[in-house]
Amino acid sequence: MRIEYERSDELLSVDSVTEAEKQWALNRAVDGLREDDPVRSASVAVLGWQRAALWGLLAVTVVCAVLWPKATAVTFVGLCTLAYVVSMVDRLLTFRTGLAARAIVISDEEARAIPDENLPQYTILVPAYDEPEVVANLVGSMAALEYPREKLQVLLLLEADDEVTIAAAQGCDDIDYVSILLVPPAEPRTKPKACNYGLQFATGEIVTIYDAEDVPEPLQLRRVVAAFERLPDNTACVQAKLAYYNGHQNMLTGWFTAEYGLWFGYLLPGLMRSNSPIPLGGTSNHLLHPVLDKIGAWDPHNVTEDADLGLRIAASGYQTAIVDSVTLEEANSDPINWVRQRSRWLKGYLQTWLVQMRRPRQLLRTLGLRNFIRFNVVLFGTPIIAVLNLLFWFITVLWFLGQPMAIEAVFPWYIYFPSLAALSVGNIATIYMSLIALREDDRSDLLIPALTVPLFWVMMSVAAAKGTYQLIRNPSYWEKTFHGLAEQPGPTP
């Protein structure tokens, strides 16, 4: 099956592009989605009826809190408990599905069996900003990929005024399939804007993104092609698994690595098997170029453009699959850096949720009830529950210290027992799932991080609070993550 790409004559050429064409491409990169389909753009965080609804809800809550404080408090706690229980049950069900089934497995022989003539054109976008120290690794990772060079196009996307990185990248330009594409400087300075710009020069029928320091598994591109052959026609994206190579650097990277292992190994395959919407990972998401053009590529105003694209894929009626191929990345090893990165992710989840909920009835129709609930649990529930955790942990500590009457009043027995179950069984179940994931991946070296993970949850809650606050004050601010804090490994054996 050849994936036909019909608009190749509209593409711009890297070598012979004119200034006017560049400006036009830049405009499309920044404003394309907003102009074509403003409802699907996060350029304005809260749109139309949502704004009225949120203000209205706030007003109603304040009035009720003043008139009937105890009933309001009980209702609030009851709703939160319901959210916890629903989220916990949903995660268990997803995990169970993912544990019994697996990601799509393509064997080495099958991957290599596709003759070169039958392989499609491939474009790899590598956006980088202010990262001179890792750009050099790019060459090694790309050289290790097993794909015919004449069908491969690697576009290194740099901002035109980023002189340090451009200087460091000079060596890359000598390789014939790697091109440096200078994006004209413009706000917002985000990765999705650069990718949108680069997309207009992309000749590939399949497009993917790698970060400069990523180490993809050499047969990944071939496995993706084989996976697309096998999957139904409405599959728009194949996501590879992300893993961290510096899991042993410190406790934080241990926690992070265990979390990714659970997410990519079991939760995402579980979502895939029940045709639920899948928030994409930041890299190694292999997309069909025609579909990207149709549904609008990346949203430069959304700080987690990958999650947003994954949801837009589902909301447009397409599917995402997970393939059993690993890209190694560097986990953030510095706590402050990590909190900033995680706050950006959680803010982005909320942004994505707000955008997708602008047409809730249509979304419900497209996804179906169960997946609609799941979408809410994952995108809205994850950040909000992380914030609520702070409140409820505080209440629990207070309760153990003094058993104040105020707390007892707010937890009647029909709320108390579910919330007690959520606290004890829910948290234990989460740790237990993580242990199962480690066992099946044979990563028992991460046993101690898995058992001490509640501290990780505290950090996550702090990040969630920061992200939610930022959403209200400064929605499109992109917290840059610093890389290069760990030793790079060689390509996977």
Q: Which stretch binds another protein (CB under 8 A): 277-285, 293-301, 428-436, 461-469?
A: 428-436
Applying the rule CB under 8 A, the residues between 99 and 138 that interact with another protein are: 99-100
- Taking the C-alpha atoms of residue 137 and residue 143, their distance in angstroms, rounded to an integer, is 10
Peptide bond into 148 cis (omega under 30): no
Please say which residue, 365 or 439, places its beta carbon nearer to another protein.
439
What is the total count of residues that contact another protein (CB under 8 A)? 17
CB of 439 vs another protein, minimal distance in Å: 5
Please say which residue, 453 or 463, places its beta carbon nearer to another protein.
453
CB of 278 vs another protein, minimal distance in Å: 21
CB of 450 vs another protein, minimal distance in Å: 8
Applying the rule CB under 8 A, the residues between 355 and 414 that interact with another protein are: 413
324, 239 contact by CB (below 8 A): no
- Taking the C-alpha atoms of residue 126 and residue 37, their distance in angstroms, rounded to an integer, is 26
From residue 437 to residue 466, the character string flagging contacts with another protein as x (rule: CB under 8 A) and all else as - is -xxx-x-xx-x---x---------------
Please say which residue, 433 or 486, places its beta carbon nearer to another protein.
433
For residue 235, the cross-strand partners are: 319
CB of 247 vs another protein, minimal distance in Å: 13
Q: Which stretch binds another protein (CB under 8 A): 115-123, 317-325, 430-438, 480-488?
A: 430-438
> Helix/strand/coil (H, E, C) string of 278-307?
CCCCCCCEEEEHHHHHHHCCCCCCCCCHHH
Q: By CB under 8 A, tell whether 89 contacts another protein.
A: no
Compute CA distances 116 → 70, 146, 177, 287, 433, whole Å.
70, 11, 16, 20, 41
Applying the rule CB under 8 A, the residues between 261 and 320 that interact with another protein are: none
Q: By CB under 8 A, tell whether 424 contacts another protein.
A: yes
Give backbone dihedrals phi and psi of 153, rounded to 5 degrees, phi first: -130, 120
Q: By CB under 8 A, tell whether 6 contacts another protein.
A: no
Which tokens sit at 86? 């629903």
163, 185 contact by CB (below 8 A): no
CB of 339 vs another protein, minimal distance in Å: 29
What letter does residue 246 receive in the DSSP assignment?
Answer: -
436: amino acid identity, one letter: I
CB of 442 vs another protein, minimal distance in Å: 5
CB of 150 vs another protein, minimal distance in Å: 40
List of residues 6+ apart from 264 with CB closer than 8 A: 241, 242, 243, 281, 322
94, 271 contact by CB (below 8 A): yes
Alpha-carbon torsion (237, 291, 91, 58), positive or negative = positive
Report the interface residues with another protein, using CB under 8 A: 99-100, 413, 417, 424, 428, 432, 435-436, 438-440, 442, 444-445, 447, 451
